[in-house]
Structure 1
Amino acid sequence: MADARPAHVHRVRVRPVDCDRQGIVHASRYAVFFEAAMVETLRSLLGSYKELEKHGVDFVMAETSIRYLNPAGFDDLLRIAVRVRTLGTTTLTMGFDADVDGTPVATGWNRYVSFGTPELRSTPIPAEFRKVLERRPAATSPRAGSATRSAPAPRS
């Protein structure tokens, strides 16, 4: 059953610098777009980066996966839906689904580790943040045979 809560949506306009010689978004740019979407999602949920700093925590990327579905090009408006895929004790996995006018262009996920500062080691996600993240929409796996395939699931 799909989660009825709306995903956080981040939009980005494709610039010439984002495109390769063929005029389509270069594969590497989706990692940048997804990271920006994650930062803006956390900002909307948890407040400014200074809120993280007050709790002595940061989120660092540990793993990523991206599947490319259809091309996007210069001046396209990418709509990136962001959802919580998994929430562990020290890890947070965010799922991303990017489309242009409803046509899926890329899907993926990033796993982040809650990183204590100044200890420079993984630390449990603060309880206040966990409560907020647990209320966010969870990503759902597409049904078998679906036209839109999700990026492979992260290892547990």
Structure 2
Amino acid sequence: MADARPAHVHRVRVRPADCDQRGIVHASRYAVFFEAAMVETVRSLLGSYKELEKHGVDFVMAETSIRYLNPARFDDLLRIGVRVRTLGTTTLTLGFDADVAGTPVATGWNRYVSFGTPELRATPIPPDFRRVLERRPVTARPVARTAPAPRR
């Protein structure tokens, strides 16, 4: 069985700018939250995102998927667990599970391509970073969850 521990947990407090007129987090904000969680995951594993740049690579998002489960609201504290889903030669897929006080609000994944910064094309993930990611267990594709009743 795959290890369910996240590689990193990112927390973000929902601001008014993240919400629609009803005070509920707008769907478009989860992509921003997940991208911030990816950057913070890289920082937690490597010490700095600039470590990738020192190797002449950057991660470029190639594909994303988000499933909305329950609303999050202004001033909620989102907890985003980040997991390594797949690790290829030039690609990395991270899974994200966002909750508020244990209630799932969104789940998703982003597939990144390791892009060589000087030549602007797919390039193998640097061995140093690959070793760090391989220490984190690759998780199986999440099982679809039934969303609990909306919070009031």
Give the alignment's TM-score, normalised by structure 2. Answer: 0.91
The separation in 1 between residues aligned to 2:70 and 2:94, in whole angstroms, is: 21
Q: Pairwise mapping of residues 49-128 of structure 1 onto structure 2 (< 5 A)?
A: 49-128=49-128
Shift in CA distance, 106/4, structure 1 to aligned 2, threshold 3 Å:
closer
Gaps of 5+ in 1: 149-156
| TM-score (normalizing by structure 1) | 0.88
2-side partners of 1:50 and 1:60: how far apart?
Answer: 14
Structure 2 letter corresponding to 1:77? L
Q: Counterpart of 2:17?
A: 17
Output one character per residue of 1:59-110: Cα deviation in whole Å (capped at 9) or x when no partner.
0111100000000000000000000000010000000000000000000000
Is residue 17 of structure 2 the alignment partner of residue 3 of structure 1?
no
Count of aligned residue pairs for this structure pair: 147
Structure 2 CA distance, aligned partners of 1:147 and 1:94? 21
More divergent stretch after superposition (98-107 vs 4-13): 4-13
Deviations, residues 107-136 of structure 1 (Å, cap 9, x unaligned): 000000000011011100011111110111
Find the aligned partners of 1:52 and 1:125 in 2 and give their Cα distance.
9
- TM-fit CA distance, 1:139: 2.9
CA distance in structure 2 between the aligned counterparts of 1:137 and 1:12, rounded to whole angstroms: 24
1:153 paired residue number: none
Match for residue 35 of structure 1?
35
* C-alpha distance in structure 2 between counterparts of 1:68 and 1:87, whole Å: 25
State the identity as a percent: 86
Task: Give the Cα separation in 2 of the matches to 1:87 and 1:73.
Answer: 33
The answer for the alignment partner of 1:147 in structure 2 is 146
